[in-house]
Amino acid sequence: MKRFLLPFALFLAAGLGLAEAASPAPEARLAEMQRLADGLNYKQGEIALSGGLAKIKLPENFRYLDPNDTRTVLTRIWGNPDTGVHSLGMLVPTGLSPMADDAWAVIISYEEDGYVKDNDAAKINYDDLLKQMKDGTREASKERVKKGYPAIELVGWATPPRYDAQAHKMYWAKEIRFANNPETTLNYNIRMLGRRGVLVLNAVAATSQLAEIEKATPTMLSMVDFQEGHRYADFKPGTDKVATYGLATLVAGGLLAKAGFFKVLLGGILALKKFVIVAFVALVGGLKKFFGKLTGRRSDTTA
């Protein structure tokens, strides 16, 4: 992590301009992020999602943030663009602030595109699928760069896709790199198939946290599920809508054409959050020390 801070801090300094970076503005921004983080309303126990669509039974090691607080974290603390994508909330490990360097979170959303047939599960060639996904990410990255965001590269599977045919839940992890950063980012995906759509859980963290996420996956799979009437087994053939895609397209992010590249790459954008915050702290502390030396003043701030 430390080797990443200097180039990113320099990137921030270049973007802000030296005069602006030397001003109190970065410290004020950091204080504002901390104020917002301190004001988040964490919930525990049993949480009903979207009027009874699904339910979360939170163990002691997880907390929940509602959609409003989730948007605060995503846009006002982590600095992501407000894409208009509606979430159902966020799961965060107990005791970890969104400002923490080692923080990770699980963003929950729902795609009501119909009943996703899983009869292609055993036929998917994930090597071929990965190649297609890399090509698609490369093209989407060009649009990100045009809009002022860092280039993004899909490095490969951190965990190859696995499908639980009995629980109708699929999970996999992608390894992502931003620009030329030496540390890659983890985008861990869980998809729960339901009667009318898919419950989406995206965990974002550093690739070095893969073991931690893998350890928590069974808990996440068991604590979130559809309610009666919305479950995969409740599907009514001939009456309910059937999705126009299967599991392979689900993994590949096949909603690209409908939703736009920001939505598909949202997990990747979110995953940059910790680097921004940590580098921001380092930048503030480092610049104070640097300008303190120039003026002969000693700074007590540590990065």
pLDDT at 23: 43
pTM given for the model: 0.74
Q: What is the mean pLDDT of residues 180-197?
A: 90
Which two structure tokens, joined as six digits, stand for 115? 């009943």
Q: How confident is the model at residue 293 (pLDDT cuts 50, 70, 90)?
A: very low
Q: Which of 212, 141, 147 is nearest to 178 (CA)?
A: 141
- Structural domain boundaries in the chain: 1-39+272-303, 41-265
DSSP notation for 169-208: EEEEEEEEEETT-SS-EEEEEEEEEBSSSEEEEEEEEEGG
12-26, 75-89, 138-152, 180-194: least confident range = 12-26
In this predicted structure, the answer to whether residue 97 has a pLDDT above a threshold of 80 is yes
- The length of the chain is 303
pLDDT at 140: 84
Which two structure tokens, joined as six digits, stand for 3? 């080797």
Q: What percent of the chain has pLDDT over 70?
A: 74
In this predicted structure, the answer to whether residue 236 has a pLDDT above a threshold of 70 is yes
In this predicted structure, the answer to whether residue 275 has a pLDDT above a threshold of 70 is no
Pairing state between β 185-193 and 169-178: antiparallel
Q: Model confidence over 241-254: pLDDT tens digits?
A: 999 989 998 888 75
Residues 6+ away with beta carbon under 8 Å from 86: 67, 109
DSSP notation for 260-294: -HHHHTHHHHHTTHHHHHHHHHHHHHHHHHHHHHH
Give the type of residue at 8. F
Q: Model confidence over 5-48: pLDDT tens digits?
A: 333 333 333 333 433 444 447 888 888 999 999 999 999 999 99
Give the type of residue at 179. A
C-alpha–C-alpha distance, residues 255 and 258, integer Å: 5
Q: How confident is the model at residue 288 (pLDDT cuts 50, 70, 90)?
A: very low
Which two structure tokens, joined as six digits, stand for 37? 């983080």
**Could you say which DSSP state residue 124 is in?**
-
In this predicted structure, the answer to whether residue 113 has a pLDDT above a threshold of 80 is yes
Label residue 137 exposed, middle or buried (CB < 10 Å: 0-12, 13-18, 19+).
buried
pLDDT at 85: 67
Domain 41-265 of CATH type 3.40.1000.10 = yes
The answer to whether 164 and 154 have CB atoms below 8 angstroms apart is: no
